[in-house]
A = this chain, B = another copy of it.
Amino acid sequence: MIKKKISIKDIAKLTNTSITTVSFVLNGKGRISADIRKKILDVALENGYEPNRMAVGLRTGESKVIGLIVETISGPFFGTMAKVIEYEAEKAGYGVVYCSTDNNIQKGKNVIKMLSNQLVDGYIITPIKGLEKEIQKLISNEKPVVLVDSYFPGIDIPHVLVDNYNSVYQAIQFLADSGYKNIGFVTPELDLVQLQERLKGYHAAIKANGLTEDSEMIFNLSYNSERTEAVEAVKDFLTRQTKLDAVFFSTNYLGIIGLQSINELKLKIPTDLGVMSFDDNELFELYPPGITSVKQPTYEIAKSAIDLLMSSLNDRNFDVSNIKLQIPAEIIKRGSTSSLT
């Protein structure tokens, strides 16, 4: 019952032709008469022929697989990202492999090494500091790379991400317009450009609106802490900074931590405290009274990234190294920021 996979050689035998002829027909190359062509195509279809990817890969040096290296494989950002990329890749005849770095440099290096053994034709990567060399090596080995969600300042690698600075600026502006005066900022203690830019956006908007500036109102949360510890830390921050009338969480994960903290402190949103978070999610939509958020254009980011990658894959001397997209975010207004109404 074990049916051996049929090969190009078998088809040649079955049709009294040569391997070359079969290959030509199947790939639409060479010049083969219509009747032989038909005969071969028929036999191939009949026997459900599928080329051996390994052999093709070995011969052509292409795997028709792209690698998606992401910070963490759970999370809504990854979800849509993966879906879009999978869909687009499939249309172009590519498969997708996913890997996660978990914000760990060593793991990132391993993952890249593993994928780079001719396993993958191109990469979409959410980069983290420390991986600059490895990623540049990929590029110098002719493997196209597109970064998403972050980038390496000063290094010319194409990337596409949300406009962190301006979206946070507008978020804080929105809070200011809503009447908040003392706006706190909670951010993870991670050395990532995108976080720094969010912070810059915050600073700029605070200054521009003449709101309270106080470094005490900015809280750097240690990234490694357990969830419960993190909640405690945020609670601690919120109880210390009693003057706050609103708080902005710079990441999705932190926003959730924040909600839990606020809930445990029995603070009322938005009357005791206005709340806004970066990166929308389902919880923010449903959690009463609805949490105002900065919604990343995840679909657009993913789509641009895969399009970019496909372009470099299809046209090897199409220089993409200077393509740097920053896509505006959308502010989703919900009940958590309307203390005045």
Contact = CB atoms under 8 A, between A and B. Distances in A.
A52 B283 contact: no
B73 A83 contact: yes
A246 interface: no
A95 interface: yes
Interface string A83-116: 1001000100001111110000000000001111
Contacts of A74: 76, 78-80, 82-83
A260 interface: yes
Interface in A108-146: 113-119, 140-142
A98 B100 contact: no
Interface string A280-312: 001100111000000000000000000000000
7 contacts: A74-B76, A74-B82, A86-B99, A86-B100, A95-B97, A97-B97, A263-B288
B86 A114 contact: no
A203 B79 CA distance: 35
Contact of A82 (B83, B98, B263): B98
- What range describes how many residues of A lie at the interface? 35 or more
Contact of A286 (B2, B116, B117, B263): B263
Interface stretch (A54-62, A163-171, A173-181): A54-62
Which of A76, A78, A118, A287 has the most chain B CB atoms inside 10 A of its CB? A118
A282 B256 contact: yes
Contact of A118 (B52, B75, B90, B259): B52
A240 interface: no
A50 interface: yes
Nearest to A102: B83
B118 A286 contact: no
Interface of A: 1-3, 5, 50-55, 57-58, 63, 65, 73-76, 78-80, 82-83, 86, 90, 95-100, 113-119, 140-142, 256, 259-260, 263, 282-283, 286-288
Given A54-B57, A54-B58, A263-B286, A95 B83 contact: no
Contacts of A53: 117-119
A51 B117 contact: yes
A340 B255 CA distance: 32
A116 B79 contact: no
A86 B113 contact: no
Nearest to A48: B113
A52 B86 contact: no
Contacts of A65: 97
B2 A50 contact: no
Nearest to A137: B3
Given A52-B117, A96-B98, A98-B96, A82 B73 contact: yes
A299 to B, nearest CB: 13
Given A96-B97, A114-B95, A286-B256, A73 B86 contact: yes
